[in-house]
Amino acid sequence: MRIQKFEVVESTNDLARKYILEGNKEPAAFVAEHQTRGKGRLGRVWEDEPGKSLLVSFALPGSTYSNPPLLGLATAVFVGEYLDLLPVPWETKWPNDVLIEGKKVAGILPEGIWQDGLVGVVVGVGLNVNQDEFPDDTEATSIKHAFGQALPVEQPLMYLIYRMEQVYEQIVDFTEILATFKDKFKSMGKKLRVRSNDQVWEGTAVDIEEDGSLILNMEGKLVTLGWGEVTLR
């Protein structure tokens, strides 16, 4: 895997997208200390405190990753596997957040790259490593806060590179990863409100399908959602 490090960029996801569109065939990781236009899900901005978090986007060229969201979900599990090494307890929030004690520690943004068909996938990861404080304390946390000690951001980076190389070599077992995601999805069986396609769906989370979709039971009627934003009801 090629690794390219930058001090300041607009968005590492954009660098990874450009790299794929230029026709590069080797997988690559774009890492920055700070982003001036970090992209979050649903068009949001991903803010960072310079040097305190891991900001990385993996560029996986090729047409084999037909399901970018599933790769996002797998990446949440990879982050969790790293947290297990410390260890720090974690949970998943569908579709691809990682939480510690109910607060978000990582955001993941998978993007399919299209040019007359799918030509690659970008998976962006924003992992809160060494922040001490957050503007809204109820929403976010950092590994340092949970673990009690600062860590070099290279540590989770190396672990994620190791796993992404396996993804590229197609030697990861997505069935097993999905089982871990479900096991760590503490909202399974609970009532949720999911915002998807400008609509709000309310029901009980009953399963996550093989392709990463969430199944909600809405008073006996099963609804399959490919993506969305979850809040507990």
- The tokens for 93 are 């929030």
- To ligand BTN, the closest distance from the beta carbon of 54 in angstroms equals 8
Residue with smaller CB distance to ligand BTN, 13 or 213: 13
Both tokens assigned to 41? 């899900």
Find out whether 219 and 191 touch, Cβ atoms under 8 Å.
no
Tell me how far, at minimum, the Cβ of 220 lies from ligand BTN, in Å: 32
Cα(110)–Cα(170) distance, integer angstroms: 18
Q: What is the CA radius of gyration of the chain?
A: 17
Supply the minimum distance, in Å, between the C-beta of residue 219 and ligand BTN: 30
Q: Quote the tokens at residue 201.
A: 């769906």
In the chain, the amino acid numbered 101 is: E
Instruction: Note whether 44 binds ligand BTN by CB under 6 A.
Output: yes
Q: Is 5 in the site for ligand BTN (CB under 6 A)?
A: no
Binding of ligand BTN by 80 (CB under 6 A): no
Number of residues binding to ligand BTN, judged by CB under 6 A: 20
Of the candidate residues 39, 52, 93, 163, the single one contacting ligand BTN (CB under 6 A): 39
Q: Does 187 bind ligand BTN (CB under 6 A)?
A: no
Distances in Å between the alpha carbon of 63 and those of 55, 66, 114, 210? 25, 7, 10, 19
Minimum distance between the CB of residue 126 and ligand BTN, rounded to whole angstroms? 3
Residue 93 or 206 with smaller CB distance to ligand BTN: 93
Q: DSSP letter at 151?
A: -
130 belongs to the binding site for ligand BTN (CB under 6 A): no
Indicate the residue among 11 and 67 with the shorter CB distance to ligand BTN: 11
**Going residue by residue from 97 to 116, which x/- string records binding to ligand BTN, judged by CB under 6 A?**
x---------xxx-------
Cis peptide bond N-terminal to 87, omega within 30? yes
Strands of the sheet with 229-232, listed across from one edge: 221-225, 214-218, 199-208, 191-196, 229-232
From the CB of 13, what's the least distance to ligand BTN, in Å?
A: 4
Based on the shown chain and the rule CB under 6 A, indicate whether residue 62 belongs to the binding site for ligand BTN. no
Q: Which residue number places its CB atom closest to ligand BTN?
A: 107
Is 46 near ligand BTN (CB under 6 A)? yes
Phi, psi values for residue 102, rounded to 5°: 80, 0
- The DSSP secondary-structure symbol of 53 reads E
Contact (Cβ atoms closer than 8 angstroms) between residue 46 and residue 126: yes
Interacting residue ranges for ligand BTN, rule: CB under 6 A: 11-13, 35, 38-41, 44, 46, 55-57, 97, 107-109, 124-126
